[in-house]
Structure 1
Amino acid sequence: MRTHITEIHPVTQENWEQALKISLHENQKHLVPSVTEGLAYAYIKPWDEAFDPYVLQIEGKIIGFFYISYTPESTDNYWIGGFQIDKTFQGQGMGKRALRAIIDFITDKHPLCHILSLTVEKDNHIAQHLYRSMSFVSENLTNSDGEVIYRLKIR
């Protein structure tokens, strides 16, 4: 599977039920909002003007989920959230490939975006390593939930 490209598609009437089947290992569930929560956020938009949920696919099979929360026309208010890879696809390099696809997708879809941000739980060392390996830099700041803020300059 390593040679296949990760595809990104909006969550739609056709794929939302598949998206809800994404499952994490028990010890990961507290680290990231569930897909259900992500879809609820997309409906109520608690943080920004725009909130877009997406699925990650390989060969038509949904392997993960994420959302983008942002202010349209801004240069620095773009946040990746809810990023998760289904437990059956973890440990195969999918997270890094998916994150690269997400960065490329946002760069293409939002040409005004100069800075991408995300947060990660303090004890989620695997995710922190992934983000650092993709050139995200810790701001040594936390949000109101105590999560560490990482940023990536893309332009």
Structure 2
Amino acid sequence: MVLSTVTARILTQDLWDAACKLSVHAHQLKEVSTVSEALILVKRSTSKNPNVPVGVFLDEKLVGFLLLLCDTLSNSNFWISRFFIDKQFQGQGLGFKSIPQIIALLRKTFPNADRLNLCVNPSNTPARKLYKKCGFVEQQNWIINGDNVWSIDL
């Protein structure tokens, strides 16, 4: 039995086209934007407040995408945005396996990072279960655009 390895790596521009081909199921479209929309944010980011595109890989195959965002108010506070696993690879535990890899990449890339946040639609039960299992805590009184904020101290 061959074990597959899940990794998270900064997406270089040569992989952007491949990332744009990733997609979610139709009923999930309201939860995440497209990779193309996310990459517009990358192009607009600054060195002070970077938006870093990250790929989730199963062995060497790109299977997921997210942005790591630096908070505009604190350079030690980061956000996961637009995180998803491609519809062909969902249900295999790759989201769960990728979170520690994403955190390790964040720590390596931004050693000053001390907190990681993300927003979850209150009706997105699978995402809520995933983030709780990974150690994120729902911030009871912090809501952004109707989504609950979840955080983990690094």
- Between the aligned residues of both structures, percent identity stands at 28
Corresponding residue of 2:17 = 17
Unaligned runs of 5+ in 1: none
Corresponding residue of 2:96 = 96
TM-score between both structures, scaled by the size of structure 2 = 0.89
Query: 1:108 offset after TM fit, Å?
Result: 2.3
Corresponding residue of 1:153 = 153
Corresponding residue of 1:74 = 75
TM-score between both structures, scaled by the size of structure 1 = 0.89
Deviates more, 1:48-57 or 1:122-131: 48-57
The DSSP-based 3-state class of the residue aligned with 2:14 is: coil
Give the conservation status (yes or no) of the 8 Å contact 2:11–2:53: yes
Q: Which amino acid aligns with 1:125?
A: T
Residues in 2 aligned to 1:2 and 1:78: alpha-carbon distance in whole angstroms: 35
Q: Cα deviations across residues 67-124 of structure 1 (Å, max 9, x unaligned)?
A: 111059822x200111100011111111100112111211222221111111111211
Unaligned runs of 5+ in 2: none
Residues in 2 aligned to 1:18 and 1:59: alpha-carbon distance in whole angstroms: 15
| Alignment coverage as a number of residue pairs | 151
Corresponding residue of 2:120 = 120
Residues in 2 aligned to 1:43 and 1:128: alpha-carbon distance in whole angstroms: 30
Give the conservation status (yes or no) of the 8 Å contact 2:136–2:152: yes
Residues in 1 aligned to 2:115 and 2:2: alpha-carbon distance in whole angstroms: 28
Alpha-carbon RMSD: 2.1
Corresponding residue of 1:56 = 56
Query: 1:2 offset after TM fit, Å?
Result: 8.3
The DSSP-based 3-state class of the residue aligned with 2:95 is: helix
Query: 1:62 offset after TM fit, Å?
Result: 0.7
Q: Cα deviations across residues 32-90 of structure 1 (Å, max 9, x unaligned)?
A: 121111101111239x7111111111222110001111059822x20011110001111
Give the conservation status (yes or no) of the 8 Å contact 2:136–2:151: yes
Deviates more, 1:51-60 or 1:81-90: 51-60
Q: Cα deviations across residues 116-140 of structure 1 (Å, max 9, x unaligned)?
A: 1111112111101100101100101
